[in-house]
Amino acid sequence: MTEPLDGRTVLVPRGGAWGERVARLLTDRGAVAVIAPLIETTPPRDVEARGRSFAALAAGEYDWVFITSAAAVEHLRAAGVEIPAATKVAAVGRATARAVVDAGFDVDFIPAGRSSALSLTQQWCSAHDPAGVGRCLVLRSDLAMAVVSDELEIRGYAVDVCIAYRTVGVDLAEGIVDDLRSGRIDTVLLTSTSVVRELSHQVGALPEHTLLASLGPGTTRDAERRGLTVSLTAPEQSVEALIAALPRTSLEART
């Protein structure tokens, strides 16, 4: 049985439906959830280029679409884009796959193990031959590295890239910054390198007892490069796994 998080005040660094869902997971376990977005996603600078890619996707011009984040699904939905039944979907991990399914589409491929663009590409390519696959579309953010598209292209697949959205920082309210610096908010979920960047830039040093919980090893490495001490890296790259690991870590921190 998972132990409760009573006494923990946890910063949820993204808003919207994702932030509300994470806040419910935390409050169900007894924590106080503070939704204070450090980042948000907006349409890309080249909206027309995205529109052309979205239109081609909706028209069934792609055999496969690679979705590398739940945020990409949000922007598909906001644009009213329907993924045709004949177009197969490869999702980078379970959280992204869940977003795809929640949007009403099927998922045809999820990599085993940790969620990463490299795992997605390597495992997918091992199961498919370029001669038997038509055009592929990769949806990603402006900040994401071109791992999937580069690997597909090198291996001989026909691939197009769509910058589905861009990630921008959000200024925290002064009261939230004070609560972080004082330790009144004692736990922070580090869900991406963009969150790490904004936390470091806007807040700076945090009290020693503040628990920084990272969603994955890449985010942990980035946080440590910026001088932040990460207490916990999720055993699986999902926010559910991250929250499930918090009780054990918080109890250890108190002993």
What is the largest distance, in Å, between two alpha-carbon atoms of the chain? 59
In tens, the pLDDT along 181-215 reads 999 999 999 999 999 999 999 999 999 999 999 99
- Indicate if the alpha-carbon torsion angle 246, 173, 38, 22 is positive or negative: positive
Vertex 168 angle, CA 221 and 201, to 5°:
50
* Full pLDDT tens readout for the chain, 255 residues: 466 898 899 999 999 888 999 999 999 999 999 999 999 999 999 999 999 999 999 999 999 999 999 899 999 999 999 999 999 999 998 889 999 999 999 999 999 877 788 899 999 999 999 999 999 999 999 988 899 999 999 999 999 999 999 999 999 999 999 999 999 999 999 999 999 999 999 999 999 999 999 998 889 999 999 999 999 999 887 888 899 999 644 444 443
